[in-house]
Every structure is written in C-alpha cells, then in structure tokens.
C-alpha cells in the first residue's frame, strides 16, 4: 500500500518513538507522584514543555498537554466561551470547521444558551474578514476559526482575522491541527491554538493547547464518552491501548490484592498465635 493521507494521520517517526520508549517501559512513574520515579516522569514532561514553548516562542505555562486535537479544541472553546459568562453570550465560528470545534460550539448553542454566528466561506473556502467584523457584537465572547482546513487545505487569513478580533477586544482560538509543521505558526496572533501530535509524526492520543497566560479556562468536564458513542473525531489509540492494558492489570491486581489479603490474615493469625503462647 502507498499511504498518502497524511492529513488524516502520519506514522510515528523514529525520534518520537525513541524519546517515548523509556517512559512506556522502565521509566513508567506517575508524574504526579512525589517519589523518585514520579519526579523523573515529571521532569521529562517539563523538559518537553520547555522545548515546545521555545519552538513556538511561547511561555512553558502556556502549553497544556492534552489527548489530542479534539480535546484541545474542546478545552479552548468551552473554556474561553464560558469565561466571565454566567451562561450565554455570542460565539462566531465557520461552517467549514472540523467537528472538534463544530460539535463543541453546537453544544454551547443547544445546551448553554449561547448564540452562534456560523460564517460562510467563499467559493475558494475562505472567510470574508468584513463578514467577520460585522458579525461581532458587544456580547461576543469568542471567535474560533481554523488556520488550515483538513479537507481542502485552504488557509484562512489569520492575520486579518486576528487584527479584527484585537481591535474589537474579542478572544480568538484557532485550530492549528493541520497547519503545524506545514506552514509557519505565529501564536502572537491568537489567544489559544490547538494541536495534535499524530498529524506531525507523533503518537495518536497526544496533543497540546496553547493558551495565552492570564486566560484560565472555565472548564467543566463532559461526562465520559461510552464505547458505543462516537467521539467527535479521532481515535486515541494509545489512550485506548492503555485503558485495556490497565483493565488487564486491574484484574491482575485484584487477584494480587486478594492473595496479599489472605497472606496478611494468615500472618496476623500466626502472630496472634505466638502472642498467646
């Protein structure tokens, strides 16, 4: 097979695999643990965050690791739209966005009293900046426009879009999932930008959100998706593999627990027997 659909996903490159392997094998610590194994994992994450921030001319605390493009878009759109909003407000997005943004904005429209302006695109797939400018209202909380389209490859005029949002004091998120690694990325134009590692030779189930410092997102997690519900997009292969592996380990550790419990009981009985002697 000759695989050409690199917009859907890319293979894992050797450098990414080599960097990850030690943390999937020997260095398996939980980065939230305070012991040495945890601190080692935490240091690796911090190091990756520093390198990524330097590459993007961002601050390390502006990089939030996620499970991929969908989670990044969810976090940005939910988080920024709900900011300073006691329910409701106005959002502007485009009809040609990826479902990671479309579904999230629609959720706010249907369930949280937000009004949405869906911008049309020209025959060439491009947003008209004048249309954007005239759609902005005093209550507009967020504009979310993708940098590069996943199906057509069309690049939106982000510089003009950014200038309009800045002038009108509206927050701007861009889905850069298809842009990163292909065109130059200027994060100074936006307040938030979403990325997915599997589009640029990284693993599936990993991504990050750039969120300009000072914008803590207001985030409520949606209930967990069930297996039979399709997620908005993408497949977290590693996440899923991990989950099944964890399930297997949990069953093992259940057996392990019962075995330890029986041994403890036996030891306690033996000790009691010694004490009464």
Name the strand (E) or helix (H) holding 165.
helix 158-168
CA 66 to CA 72: how far, in whole Å?
6
The site string for ligand PLP over 238-257 (x = CB under 6 A, - otherwise) reads --------------------
Minimum separation from the CB atom of position 108 to ligand PLP (A) = 17
- Per rule CB under 6 A, count of chain residues that contact ligand PLP: 16
Interface stretch with ligand PLP, choices 30-38, 53-61, 62-70, 260-268 (CB under 6 A): 62-70
Task: Report which DSSP code applies to 197.
Answer: G
Per-residue buried b or exposed e for 62-82, using 16+ beta carbons within 10 Å of the residue's own CB: bbbebbbbbbbbbbbbbbbbb
Distance in Å, CB of 68 to ligand PLP, minimum: 3
Name the minimum Å distance from CB 193 to ligand PLP.
Answer: 11
- Phi and psi torsions of 34, nearest 5°: -85, -10
How many other CB atoms sit within 10 Å of the CB of residue 105? 23
Site string for ligand PLP, 69-108 (x = CB under 6 A): xx--x------------------------x-x--------
Q: Per rule CB under 6 A, is residue 177 in the interface with ligand PLP?
A: yes
**Residue 198: closest CA among 41, 4, 72, 11:** 11
Q: What mask, x for binding ligand PLP by CB under 6 A, covers residues 137 to 156?
A: ---------x---x------
CA distance 172 to 156: 13
The residues of the shown chain that bind ligand PLP, judged by CB under 6 A, are: 68-70, 73, 98, 100, 146, 150, 175, 177-178, 196, 198, 207, 233-234
């Amino acid at each position: 097979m000759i695989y050409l659909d690199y917009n859907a996903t890319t293979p894992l490159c050797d450098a990414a695999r080599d960097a990850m392997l030690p943390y999937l094998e020997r260095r398996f610590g939980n980065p939230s643990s305070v012991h040495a194994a945890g601190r080692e994992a935490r240091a690796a994450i911090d190091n990756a965050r520093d390198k990524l921030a330097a590459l993007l001319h961002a601050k390390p605390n502006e990089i939030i690791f996620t499970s991929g493009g969908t989670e990044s878009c969810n976090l940005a759109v939910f988080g920024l739209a709900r900011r300073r909003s006691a329910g409701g407000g106005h959002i502007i997005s485009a009809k040609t966005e990826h479902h990671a943004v479309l579904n999230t904005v629609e959720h706010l429209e249907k369930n949280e009293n937000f009004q949405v302006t869906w911008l049309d695109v020209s025959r060439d797939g491009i947003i008209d900046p004048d249309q954007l400018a005239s759609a902005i209202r005093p209550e507009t909380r967020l504009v979310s426009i993708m940098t590069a389209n996943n199906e057509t490859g069309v690049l939106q005029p982000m510089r003009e879009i950014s200038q309009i949002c800045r002038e009108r004091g509206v927050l701007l998120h861009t889905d850069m999932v298809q842009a990163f690694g292909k065109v130059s990325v200027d994060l100074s134009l936006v307040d938030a930008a979403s990325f997915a590692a599997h589009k640029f030779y990284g693993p599936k189930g990993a991504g990050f959100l750039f969120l300009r410092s000072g914008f803590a997102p207001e985030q409520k997690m949606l209930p967990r998706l069930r297996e039979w519900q399709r997620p908005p997009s993408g497949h977290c292969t590693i996440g899923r593999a991990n989950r099944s592996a964890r399930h297997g380990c949990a069953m093992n550790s259940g057996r392990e627990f019962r075995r330890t419990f029986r041994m403890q009981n036996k030891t306690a009985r033996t000790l009691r027997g010694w004490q009464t002697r």
